Amino acid sequence: MKLVSSVMLILLVVFLLCQASLAQSREVALPRSMKGYELYSWQIRGEWYFSLLVGTNRLKTRNEVTSTKVRVKGIKALKKKLNRLPKDEDISWSASLISRMTLPPDEVIEEIKAYCDQRGIILRLS
């Protein structure tokens, strides 16, 4: 009986480890972009939101940038997204292209810039 319990415990641990590994693998790396990426930021009720989109030659609409499909809430969530970018990728961060977009305070910008530097990502503020 003790042997069966031990085997069941081992199987449960292996199962949980496999589930954790699958969850991490779902965070698929983002592809390298010919035109880099565009970072947008805005604030709602004291919370910072960010969108990281593939760069294009056209201006994005506010709806594209703020869509729940692409936006993330908070610096921690943005960093998780930045982790998916390849090293040496370019990001352009501008607040003036779309109305009601704004840059966060300098200390937040510096934190994100330092994180990009650490990850080998090139962040440009425009």
pLDDT of residue 32: 85
Which pLDDT tens digit goes with each residue over 16-43?
554 544 444 456 888 888 889 999 999 9
Question: How does the average pLDDT of the chain come out, rounded?
Answer: 86
Rounded CA gap, 102 and 123, in Å? 16
Q: pLDDT > 70: what percent of the chain?
A: 79
Which pLDDT tens digit goes with each residue over 6-20?
555 565 445 555 454
Show Cβ contacts of residue 91 under 8 Å, excluding neighbours closer than 6 positions.
Answer: 36, 37, 38, 39, 52, 85, 116, 121, 122, 123, 124
Helix (H, G, I), strand (E, B) or coil at 47: strand
Structure-derived torsion over alpha carbons of residues 88, 56, 26, 104, reported in degrees to the nearest 10: 70
What 8-state DSSP symbol labels residue 116?
H
Averaged pLDDT for residues 91-107: 92
